[in-house]
Amino acid sequence: MTPRRRTPDTPDAQPKPEDAAQRGDRVAKVMARAGVCSRRDAEAMIAAGRVALNGKKLTTPAVTIVPGDTVTVDGKPLPAPEPTRLWRYHKPTGVLTADRDPEGRPTLRDSLPAGLPRVMTVGRLDLNSEGLLLLTNDGALARHLELPATGWLRRYRARVHGIVDQALLDRVKDGITIDGIRYGPLQATLERTVGANSWITVALREGKNREVRKVLDSLGLSVSRLIRVSYGPFQLGDLARGAVEEVKGKVLREQVPPAFVARAPAKDRQTERRQAADAKPAEAKASPPKGRTPKPFKPPPADMAPGPKGRAAAGNAAGRVSAKPANKPAGKTSAKPADKSSVKPRGQRADHRRQP
């Protein structure tokens, strides 16, 4: 029997990001990557006849855009795609992870601060869950980070009502099947118990719909609060509820495959240069410009001492001037001082009374 040839449709031969970039992308994806609209809205704009490719109006979104093609929307060319960016967002409870809701509930679009570009979420958090939610302007990156094959660990803290012990939680360490759905291994650890409530830490590498709640509910534990505290290497930390913070370009390049991040945003590059300059040693900062040689320091001559006030202040600061000569009998003065430390500053008269 001849073995079946691998094709890009088979799971073990998925195309790499760089290969997909060489073959081109669908027009809806290109429009979304440029920040014009979502893919769904792009399909609606194409159906309305608002999108053209190389001067010809498109009638279907099943068109691939390759380097050199020109796409226009309402006669205007698409803006150049921005560099890939990533944000940390502290999602509060009561916010729906969606752009719009037919029931009129608060959505992610309503909660994000003004000035943020069009973004999409990496995974989801249900309406009553809170904590870390990653946002990006690159749909391909969002999809890559969501896949269990990426191997990123997601950690949650859950407050449950019920009797809890570690032996009960260990039942799901190898996975569990609920209503015909198989859930992967979960690392559940009991933190503490306060009254009738307990706090549990849960870690998993896949994120099926309401997985943590369903697994704990199968153990007889009702979840009253669920907080995502980390997603892969990114932590919730002390990020305020409802706040958004962008991940620096250097960190993004370290954590994300190079195919998704060609270069960091210009703002981050300037910040990195300033930080690198601040990190230089002090002697490197104080070095003179090239072509100039610093002159060695020469102390001033003795006959160029400062004026009365300056000399007195300098002498007192250095501990060289004494108001009275040290170890001298009372009522006696010397015409010549014993040493320099007993010199009277100019402007102070010496006692010239003759001795008996």
What six digits make up the tokens of 143?
A: 């999809």
What six digits make up the tokens of 325?
A: 């000569």
Rounded distance between C-alpha atoms, residue 183 and residue 209, angstroms: 10
Rounded distance between C-alpha atoms, residue 122 and residue 153, angstroms: 13
Q: Give the strand pairing for 130-136 and 222-231.
A: parallel
Rounded distance between C-alpha atoms, residue 122 and residue 247, angstroms: 14
Rounded distance between C-alpha atoms, residue 24 and residue 9, angstroms: 17
Q: Are 243 and 90 in contact (CB under 8 A)?
A: yes
Single out the catalytic residue among 25, 101, 126, 217: 126
Catalytic residue status for 170: no
Q: What is the DSSP string of 150-205?
A: G---EEEEEEEES---HHHHGGGTT-EEETTEEE---EEEEEEEETTEEEEEEEES
Q: Give the strand pairing for 71-73 and 51-53.
A: antiparallel
Backbone angles phi, psi at 323, to 5 degrees: -65, -35
Burial of 77 (0-12, 13-18, 19+ CB in 10 A): exposed
Closest listed residue to residue 223, CA positions, set 166, 168, 165, 161: 161
CB 316: neighbour CB atoms within 10 A? Answer: 13
- Catalytic site residues? 126
